[in-house]
Structure 1
Amino acid sequence: MWRWIIFIVVYFALCLYTLQALQAAVRFPWVRFLYIAIVLVILGNFIYQFTLGEVQGRVLSRPKSFAFGFLLAVLTFNLITILFLFSEDIVRLVVGIYHKFLGGKGEFTVPGRRRFLSLMALGLASLPFGALLYGMFRGKYNFKVLRYTLEFKDLPEAFDGYTLTQISDIHSGSFDNRDKIEYAVDLINKQQSDVILFTGDMVNNMAVEMKPWAELFSTLSAPDGKYSVLGNHDYGDYVSWETAEAKSQNLEDLKNLQRDMGFKLLLNEHTFLERNGARLALVGVENWGRGGFKKAGDLRKATEGLDPAAFKILMSHDPSHWEDQVIQDELHYHLTLSGHTHGMQFGIEIPGWIKWSPVKWRYKYWAGIYEELGQFINVNRGFGFLGYPGRVGIWPEITVIELKRKGLT
């Protein structure tokens, strides 16, 4: 209860501060009334969705996600505006003190707000506000195909030119537009890769979330099949269950559903991709994540009986596994495929110029291709979304990787 009271007080304090900028910049009262109405509606909806509107068994339902998204947009607008107002207020305070003690007036007088600065603050604050709204309605389905070519000296010659498509973090419980998902599934098939690899988090929490989409994702196809591993959200750890048996059954239901959809689920095990008598080892581990995430991944179990000299592709949901265990492992994993970070669904990317997201402060390897000790990892930015129901700058990704044998003409 006290957390809600503190949150509401802080929220209104931020809104009142921003209202001062509107009063200084806009001469039409209806604009201020509209702002007041918007912030009240957004606050009311947020409180309702996270109290009376609670959906049993789901951490973030679609209505709750949108309530959070709208609140995030308003708070971002307020905070950026306040940064300008606060800096101006410091100057105004200094001027007032000067008039009181040094200016000869003997009184504390503070200059009024400058309309130009208020307009500038509101204008700049409108940019991320608009971007966050765009991300909620358009950006989250702005699917991008990213292509990479990786060269290896010891790639079997038969696999020169072999292509794989990686998708990750479907989070089907967040979907709200079937046409867009149909488009994305069709886009994956259009890549015509040799194999499709899914690196975890098919659902937000519960297997039932995937059932409305199972038939659609069953249409994904590749000559060498489609393989999957589990991500941290697939275990149902983030919701309450009536019994331990119900939670265990949910996981079994998800495993069976993936198999019914045609995915070959790898649970700390390996298999082989074959071409003209040559083989690649495809290793799949359960989720292993740093910082409180489930550590069910077991490299030793997954590679038991595997020739150490084999060319290995590892599927592991969380890139912290690669950093903490895989790179220094006694076995050489030529390519690791991960996801998990979503690129935080927010950032700035201009290919060849800049790649930035706040998630880089937590994950060293958070999006794209990295190389360490002659081993590669691709961290997929994710297919779906979770929490904030959108994407800004970090778009949903379908990765296509072509394997090439170095030195082969």
Structure 2
Amino acid sequence: MLQILLVGFVFILVEFYTYQAFRQWTKRRSFRLIYVLVSVLILGYIAYGFSKFDRSIGQTHQSMLAAALVILFYLPKAIITVLLLTEDAVRLFIGIFQYFNREKADKEANRPFMPERRKFVSQLALGIAAIPFASVLYGITVGRYKFQVYKHVLEFEDLPHAFDGFTFTQLSDIHAGSFDNKEKLEYAVDLINSQDSDLLLFTGDIVNSIADEMLPWSDVFRKLRKHTYGNYSILGNHDYGEYVKWDTEEERLGNFKGICDISPEIGFRLLRNECVRIEKGGESIVVVGVENWGADPRFMKYGDLDKATQGVSTTDFKILMTHDPSHWDAQVLDHPKNFQLTLAGHTHGFQFGIEIPGVIKWSPVQYIYKQWAGLYEKMGKYIYVNRGFGYHAYQGRTGIWPEITVIELRRK
């Protein structure tokens, strides 16, 4: 009950201050009326979208659009509220200062206690709020399909000579249940195939929760070419179907089997706490794939590094696929089998942030995950966190674009 009252208070506060800014921006009653009507309609759709959420179905386009509208409209409104609240605090301070420094005659003249709100501040607040509004709108309409290829060259002293120049493509977090544009997906698959890599690796979350989410898109993903040294995949936290409500355990297990079957249907070999040895020129490297393991108690811990590396020596060069990057610090770095390169995903880069190479790299998710997007090195070992191919929870990507990663291995 207290949470509901708190949310209600914040909502009223945000709407009140946003209307104050809009009222100062225009004196035309017709514009104000349009603003109120649009706000009511948007709020109504948001409430309707969330009220229709069904745990037996999971995320739908309707619920994701509702979440996108919350970010699109209430992030700018929150910025306006903070700026006008700050102005009110300053006005209050000035009012108190002036009150105790006025002459008696001035106090009796019934002058306003606080200075009037300045139109300039309201206009400034609206102008600043327009920036995230435009950015999020772009992310919803364009950004979620703005596929980017990130290329990296990594050097290792213990890389076998035969693999000097070996390339692989990493994909992660497809989230098939979120898509709504076949043409954009076909373009992305062509982009993946055009990289001409030796190996294709997928690091989990192929669907949102339900196996059938892949049905409309499976013919597109079947066009992924069979790479010379194979296509391999692992499971992510969403691939266990545990975020929806099942009537029976048999239904849950049947859905999980269906999700596991997606990988071979679209040309991948699914690795579940197992490994595969890649042979080239009389030498080899090992691709290790573990099930989901997350340090956060909310996420399952099914990954088993020891089981996955049976028969693998410490000196073997290994590429580890593990969905959640928190696994790296928790278990991988100090593991005696010595994992030279780890690949992960999971974070999506929060689907929101700012990335300007060499200038700034920021996202709210960095306060949750130490490794959240791109390449990290520690103790001579590397982890690469893919920003994700698809999207989830809300229908957009702002500043953190969907990623196709290409890594070339070089011998130092």
Equivalent-residue separation in structure 2 for 1:5 and 1:220 (angstroms): 51
Report what 1:365 is aligned to.
371
Check conservation: 2:13, 2:81, Cα contact below 8 A.
no
Answering whether residue 94 of structure 2 is matched by residue 89 of structure 1, we say no
Equivalent-residue separation in structure 1 for 2:371 and 2:2 (angstroms): 38
1:237 maps to amino acid = E
Q: Give the drift of 1:55.
A: 4.2
Report what 1:226 is aligned to.
231
Answering whether residue 53 of structure 2 is matched by residue 49 of structure 1, we say no
Answering whether residue 338 of structure 2 is matched by residue 332 of structure 1, we say yes
Report what 2:258 is aligned to.
253
Q: Give the drift of 1:10.
A: 3.3
Report what 2:348 is aligned to.
342
Check conservation: 1:15, 1:39, Cα contact below 8 A.
no
Answering whether residue 411 of structure 2 is matched by residue 405 of structure 1, we say yes
Report what 2:293 is aligned to.
288
Equivalent-residue separation in structure 1 for 2:29 and 2:196 (angstroms): 58
Q: Give the drift of 1:98.
A: 3.2
Equivalent-residue separation in structure 2 for 1:72 and 1:353 (angstroms): 25
- Say which is worse superposed, 7-16 or 220-229, in terms of deviation: 7-16
Post-superposition CA distance 1:97-132 (Å, at most 9, x none): 234332122255222211111100100011101111
Please list every run of 5 or more consecutive structure 2 residues that lacks an aligned counterpart in the other structure.
none
Task: Provide the TM-score with structure 2 as the length reference.
Answer: 0.95
Pick from 211, 236, 240: which aligns with 2:241? 236
2:309 maps to amino acid = T
- Say which is worse superposed, 232-241 or 348-357, in terms of deviation: 348-357
Equivalent-residue separation in structure 2 for 1:180 and 1:276 (angstroms): 38
Equivalent-residue separation in structure 2 for 1:265 and 1:152 (angstroms): 27
1:398 maps to amino acid = I
| Shift >4 Å, 4+ stretches | 1-6
Equivalent-residue separation in structure 1 for 2:328 and 2:217 (angstroms): 31
The residue matched to 2:246 in structure 1 has which SS?
Answer: coil
Check conservation: 1:286, 1:297, Cα contact below 8 A.
yes
Identity %: 48
2:97 maps to amino acid = Y
Equivalent-residue separation in structure 2 for 1:375 and 1:84 (angstroms): 45
Q: Give the drift of 1:94.
A: 2.2
Answering whether residue 185 of structure 2 is matched by residue 186 of structure 1, we say no
Answering whether residue 43 of structure 2 is matched by residue 37 of structure 1, we say no
Equivalent-residue separation in structure 2 for 1:257 and 1:394 (angstroms): 27
- Say which is worse superposed, 256-265 or 200-209, in terms of deviation: 256-265
Q: Give the drift of 1:37.
A: 1.7
Number of residue pairs matched by the alignment: 405
Q: Give the drift of 1:310.
A: 0.9
Report what 1:301 is aligned to.
307
Please list every run of 5 or more consecutive structure 1 residues that lacks an aligned counterpart in the other structure.
none
Task: Provide the TM-score with structure 1 as the length reference.
Answer: 0.96
Report what 1:113 is aligned to.
117
1:257 maps to amino acid = I
Check conservation: 2:239, 2:256, Cα contact below 8 A.
yes
Check conservation: 2:55, 2:243, Cα contact below 8 A.
no
Pick from 124, 129, 146: which aligns with 1:125? 129
Pick from 130, 137, 140: which aligns with 2:141? 137
The residue matched to 1:132 in structure 2 has which SS?
Answer: helix
Answering whether residue 270 of structure 2 is matched by residue 271 of structure 1, we say no
The residue matched to 1:50 in structure 2 has which SS?
Answer: helix
Q: Give the drift of 1:309.
A: 1.4
Equivalent-residue separation in structure 1 for 2:19 and 2:245 (angstroms): 41
Q: Give the drift of 1:77.
A: 1.2
Q: Where in structure 2 are the equivalents of 1:147-162 lying within 5 Å?
A: 147-162=151-166
Post-superposition CA distance 1:157-184 (Å, at most 9, x none): 1111100000000011111111111111
Distance 1:177 1:2, change over 3 A: farther
2:27 maps to amino acid = R
Equivalent-residue separation in structure 2 for 1:71 and 1:321 (angstroms): 32
Check conservation: 1:70, 1:133, Cα contact below 8 A.
no
